[in-house]
Structure 1
Amino acid sequence: MTRNDTAAAAPGRAEPGPGAPAPSPLKVLLAPVRGRVAAAVALQGAAGALGLVPLVCVAEIARALLGPGAPDHGRAWALVGLALAGAVAALLAGAASTLVGHLADNDMQLAVRRSLAAHLSRVPLGWFSGRGSGRVKKALHDDIGEVHSLVAHTLPDLAAVVAVPAVALVYLAATDWRLALVAAALVAAGIALFARAMAGGNAKLAEYARAMNDINTSAVEFVEGIQVVKHFGGHRRSHARFLRAADAFADFFVSWARATTPVTVASFLLLSAPTVTVAAVLAGTAFTAAGWTDPVSVVAFALVAPALCAPMNVIGSRVQQVQAAGAAAARVAAVLAVPALPEGAGGVPRDAGVVFEGVRFAYPAEGDREAQEVLRGVDLVLEPGTVTALVGPSGAGKSTLAALPARFHDPASGSVSLGGADVRDLPAETLYRTVGFVFQDVRLLRESVADNISLGRPGATRAEVEAAARAARIHDRIERLPRGYDSVVGEDADLSGGEAQRVSIARLFLADPPVLVLDEATAAVDPVAEADIQDALADLARDRTVLVIAHRLATVTGADRIAVMEDGRITESGTHGDLLAAGGRYAALWNARHRHDGTEEGEEQ
């Protein structure tokens, strides 16, 4: 899929005309199913209106039998049939609305998830490392779920909220406009009180969120630091912070409740069906005594007037759901708006050499974080078949530089070439077949161990998978699993960090890439596992071009080249012996680690 194809696949994506305001993300998301959503809304509105037909028919049956003149039994039976037909039609319209709305919702979800999957496959890999899986999961699952509720439930429900009172008011006004005004005034008063209770609600909700955040923060601080706090006798002070946050929240919430509860309760009472019914009957009785209306009209109001207010009790929650869906759609749109890496259409590496030339890179600004330049004109050549180690203090830019050959990011200026071809000109399939990487943080799929390994070369035979596992020193451990290579990671294959790392190395043995990037692959494992991983990596690195980030200098003394990075630049480069003889930064780091008995102490980040 090309970049243009990906953009076209986004549901409802369209460029606004010159000077036209951009459509809201929610409108864009719903654009492909707008017609069916409108049909579901209309059907639910019709269902709500048809649901009033039996009540209206009962009132009219009373008029036919109890009104002036002789009872009209024929009309009464016709109204009975109409009431039954209305009830059935209401059920059918409601069922049709549910069916149309859910089918539209299914298509919308499928289109959005496909669009997200296609787009996320094109964004820089480094975008994921900065956010983890939470933001992607929220967009693919949680946020689309919010929009699902809007399409399948909230919008149709709002149609009923509008249709039912409107139809009821028309019928009541036609029956007796004076009583209709009484009922409408009661509902209007309830709505006005509710609006008054909700005045300033956004500011209060923001204050509520801040107060809850203070409680959560103080609670997490207390729990996570409980060992240190208790050891140094500061538990009372830490506990006091939590109590102050809880007391502040309680004071705020009680104050808010005292200010709004009386008005809110009054509005709910005015909008309750019993209140409207009693008010309509009392007013109708008074009007009948005054000769302004007839008793049968009072029956009609007792039956239908509650329909004016019943939907009002749910309108607040439905509006909140619309707002939540709008926010969810905005988050989905933000993910779809992440710039995709343009994919090259040509270029074939001549060899496995890697060249960094004048590379500069800055992480973009996001939120309150300003843009931060981490690479400042890096020049480095990785000769084919050699091992190059990057060392230096934390934050020097080592991991950022190592991620560029695999296009986790593209440099802001300068170039990274692979076998003479700029990596930006290489198709993704060619690039990832050429560059392999092993990181400290390993991710395995919830699939069988064999499937996890064969990701390196789909279609590999079981014998090839097992050979790769043997080379990675993990075959014997896999054989001890309940179902061997068919054991599923996370179900019957519980692997330690070092074992998972060796599975990922087996994947690379199978993929057989000529260029290998190792980023602190053994930093988080125990010494026994580290020895196995180092042996596996030594075999894997043989005859390949290797870039390794070293966290312990003693592990890279045999590298063909050691490059020292500081503040986004390479300040020294050479063999271990050359750098020691030069007496520069590398020699200072080495001597600091071997000041005592010649063994390395600490870790070089």
Structure 2
Amino acid sequence: MAQSESVLGALLEPIRWRVRAAMLAQGLGAIAGVLPFIAIAELGRVLVGTGPDRAHDAWRWVLVAVVALLVRTILLLTAGGITHFADNELQLHIRRRLVQRLREVPLAWFSDRNSGTVKKVVTDDVEAMHHLVAHSMLELTSAVVVPVTSLAYLVWVDWRMTLVTIAPLVVGLGLYTITMAAMGPRMGEYDQAMTEINSRAVEFVQGIGVVKIFGQTRRAHARYARAADDFAAFFTAWVRSTLNSKTAAEVVLSPVAVLAAVLGGGAIFVTQGWLTAVDLLPYALLGVGLTAPVLALFYASYELRLAKSAAQRVSETLAAEVLPVAANPLVPQGNDIEFDGVHCSYDGDTEVLAGIDLELAEGTVTALVGPSGAGKSTLATLVPRFRDVSAGAVTVGGVDVREIAPSELYRRVAFVFQDVRLTRDTIAANIAMARPEADHEEIEAVAKAAGVHEEIEALPRGYDSIYGVDVQLSGGQAQRVSIARALLADTPIIVLDEAAAYVDPESEAVVQEALSRLTAGKTVLMIAHRLSTVTGADQIVVLDGGVIAERGTHRELVEADGRYARMWAAYERTSERTGA
């Protein structure tokens, strides 16, 4: 708990003095808000009295009430304005830091986390701190100042009756303490359940095109529905575990219950001569008003717990390890690639690659094949440095990729994923992402080479159509836009991660032709599951269990009658059955 408080305090440091100023204004405004009730109580005393200055005293208390209401309004508006402006600045500051950090982390950091998790940190968790800064801190201030001010006045009137008045508050606070004790340990489960729902929702929406093509809509929706059902079951159980104590607390702290206690106790005090009837008025007015701040205190403390958890996740993201950049970067001499004793593990624990030695000569095509989980994608991502090796080295043109400036590396290496990501921008801008300065003629030329020009022209606004707003592209169209982007980059090294895996059958031939244009004369590292696409590769590398099991040309590997030969035989049998 202390650690989460320090983390939250560190995040709030840029606006700390403004929050304190707002809390001071809120505190003074809360005191001013109690004064009209005190004025009414004192006005009652004056009106039932017989003093010579009764009229003067009555108007004095009326003036106190009016001025106090005016001051309260000004102070509360000031406090709210300060916190909302401070919150806007804080959100901007934190989100800029998050975006900057997300720009600097290795791309593999995103692969190890789903987009729902990132979305929750950048959006939901920052928003959770909004409630704390803009609302909860002020509510907590009022929840403390109002009861203290009211009780100070009530004790001055009669301390014994004050004890009767606060009896329901003591019982209610005890019940709320029990409620919070039951809620606290399960806050982590709540966060995990919300993250799971976010992840499944994002997964379902982003993959809707693919799942529709392959008729998996029901299955994809079922995963989201299952996450929603799990959350509903957890939340219902969580609420039920606190239902009795929370309900009892709200009943005890209800204005009716407090008023009943005040009037019941007051009746005894008045009949016993311990209190005059007019002195019961302050307790009827202020005693009932004590419950609202206590309820606000409970809900504000709940928001504080959420904010602390959110701050912890934001801080963990801000502390994510960045991709190291060489102080004195080197420039590769050539475009050959070499893996020298490469080991790679995730989080320093599970080793995915173990002792990989592999050379990719400039201008050749190398295909990676093997069972799922063999390490193919991990090996391919080491070239554009989406993650770093844990031992050994990956070199391009004789230079370790860790010694190459990122801008230089990305001028040499282009990559086409099987899971295409397009931004909510024009189709032209999505293609030109590799070279923002490219003119329209260059963009059209690569679109034609990728076989997608005519389909773009047929869109509502052609190349100016905004993806996600004016149009949604099919899997094949999006893949060809991605290929056009890589063609525009015109890098000497191409990494393909099963680029035609999710393409609809009608687009497959066009995509394969576009890929042939993209890879012509380049150093190519490609991952393939359909073995028919790798028969012409200069070398085929079979990975299994993170090590190289075989390597050679298609003919050499078939003649060796090893793992690749068995994979090829199985592929041929499948092709014969399906007629592919």
Asked if these proteins are the same fold (TM beyond 0.5), I'd say yes
In structure 2, what is the equivalent of residue 274 of structure 1? 256
In structure 2, what is the equivalent of residue 351 of structure 1? 334
In structure 2, what is the equivalent of residue 398 of structure 1? 376
In structure 1, what is the equivalent of residue 111 of structure 2? 129
In structure 2, what is the equivalent of residue 583 of structure 1? 561
In structure 2, what is the equivalent of residue 361 of structure 1? 344
Task: Give the deviation of 1:600 after TM superposition.
Answer: 9.2
In 2 relative to 1, CA 42–212 (structure 1 residues): closer, same or farther, beyond 3 Å? closer
Distance, in Å, in 2 between the alignment partners of 1:298 and 1:202 is 40
2:81 to 99, 103, 115: 99
Instruction: Count matched residues.
Output: 551
Give the partner amino acid of 1:586. Answer: Y
Query: Which moves more between the two structures, 286-295 or 136-145?
Result: 286-295
Distance, in Å, in 2 between the alignment partners of 1:253 and 1:531 is 54
Distance, in Å, in 2 between the alignment partners of 1:288 and 1:331 is 57
1:412 to 380, 390, 394: 390
In 2 relative to 1, CA 27–600 (structure 1 residues): closer, same or farther, beyond 3 Å? farther
Map 1:275-354 → 2, pairs under 5 A: 275-345=257-327, 346-354=329-337
Secondary structure at the counterpart of residue 166 of structure 2: helix
Higher helix share: 2
Map 1:189-588 → 2, pairs under 5 A: 189-196=171-178, 200-202=182-184, 256=241, 261=244, 264-345=246-327, 346-364=329-347, 371-588=349-566
2:25 to 34, 43, 49: 43
1:58 maps to 2:29: no
In 2 relative to 1, CA 324–555 (structure 1 residues): closer, same or farther, beyond 3 Å? same
Give the partner amino acid of 1:300. Answer: P
Task: Give the deviation of 1:24 after TM superposition.
Answer: 2.9
Flag structure 2 segments of 5+ consecutive residues without an equivalent.
Answer: 196-210, 217-225
Q: Deviations over 1:482-531 (max 9, x none)?
A: 11001111122221101100001111111111110011011121333111
Task: Give the deviation of 1:475 after TM superposition.
Answer: 0.3
CA RMSD of aligned residues (A): 3.3
In 2 relative to 1, CA 23–602 (structure 1 residues): closer, same or farther, beyond 3 Å? farther
In structure 2, what is the equivalent of residue 167 of structure 1? 149
Distance, in Å, in 1 between the alignment partners of 2:56 and 2:404 is 84
Identity %: 45
Task: Give the deviation of 1:156 after TM superposition.
Answer: 0.7
Q: Deviations over 1:376-410 (max 9, x none)?
A: 11011111111111112222111110010111110
Distance, in Å, in 1 between the alignment partners of 2:85 and 2:529 is 54
In structure 1, what is the equivalent of residue 139 of structure 2? 157
8 Å Cα contact 2:479/2:503 also seen in 1: no
In 2 relative to 1, CA 68–464 (structure 1 residues): closer, same or farther, beyond 3 Å? same
Secondary structure at the counterpart of residue 343 of structure 1: coil
In 2 relative to 1, CA 563–454 (structure 1 residues): closer, same or farther, beyond 3 Å? same
Task: Give the deviation of 1:299 after TM superposition.
Answer: 1.8
In 2 relative to 1, CA 63–589 (structure 1 residues): closer, same or farther, beyond 3 Å? same
In 2 relative to 1, CA 566–600 (structure 1 residues): closer, same or farther, beyond 3 Å? farther
Map 1:21-36 → 2, pairs under 5 A: 24-36=6-18
In 2 relative to 1, CA 484–253 (structure 1 residues): closer, same or farther, beyond 3 Å? closer
8 Å Cα contact 1:594/1:601 also seen in 2: no
Task: Give the deviation of 1:558 after TM superposition.
Answer: 1.4
Give the partner amino acid of 2:166. Answer: A
8 Å Cα contact 2:4/2:312 also seen in 1: no
Query: Which moves more between the two structures, 505-514 or 265-274?
Result: 265-274
Flag structure 1 segments of 5+ consecutive residues without an equivalent.
Answer: 1-19, 214-223, 229-240, 366-370
Secondary structure at the counterpart of residue 94 of structure 1: helix
Task: Give the deviation of 1:347 after TM superposition.
Answer: 0.9
Secondary structure at the counterpart of residue 104 of structure 2: coil
TM-score by length of 2: 0.87
Task: Give the deviation of 1:75 after TM superposition.
Answer: 2.3
8 Å Cα contact 1:65/1:71 also seen in 2: no
8 Å Cα contact 2:263/2:284 also seen in 1: yes
Distance, in Å, in 2 between the alignment partners of 1:344 and 1:592 is 46
Give the partner amino acid of 2:438. Answer: A
Distance, in Å, in 1 between the alignment partners of 2:107 and 2:192 is 34
Distance, in Å, in 2 between the alignment partners of 1:193 and 1:451 is 59
